[in-house]
Amino acid sequence: MSNDFKSVLEVRTENLKQQRSRREQFSRAPVSALPLAPNHLGGGAVVLGAESRASGDVAIDMVDSRTSQQLQLIDEQDSYIQSRADTMQNIESTIVELGSIFQQLAHMVKEQEETIQRIDENVMGAQLDVEAAHSEILKYFQSVTSNRWLMVKIFLILIVFFIIFVVFLA
């Protein structure tokens, strides 16, 4: 499972790098390519200015203000795109860090699994030993209770001690 997750992270990282390079390649549009750039309307504005001066009217040259607005808009868009790229990079690094944490966790779980298996095997061995000891104790108890000679010997020893006690101490 961790290898699959790692490969998914690698593919995702490659995709993000490709998107970033495409974004950098296509987001930097030259100023002359803008639709309202001065080279598109420049000739008309000069003629308009000359005609308005000749007639005595006042004309405002809007080409420079439009160009500056477009440049300002491009700068804002570039800064927005850059902030988005930085945010995506932070997210990507966080995902990579999480991937490494999950790999470490999987490794620790694998190590614990081996330890648990050894403990389980030891418990099973101890249980078998206890059962074997119990059966041996039962055999010994049965042999002791069925041994009549042992009871006779113990009874004779008690009688001998009783006689010795009565004869010598009384």
Angle, alpha carbons 68-79-10 (nearest 5°) = 150
Q: What is the mean pLDDT of each run of 10 residues along the chain (170 residues)?
A: 78 88 71 42 44 52 72 85 90 91 90 88 95 93 77 91 87
Count of beta carbons in the 10 Å neighbourhood of residue 63: 19
Threshold 0.95, pTM exceeds:
no
Dump the DSSP string for 41-59. HHHHHHHHHHHHHHHT---
* Biggest CA-to-CA distance, the chain: 163
CA distance 132 to 18: 68
Rounded Cα–Cα distance for residues 51 and 45 (Å): 10
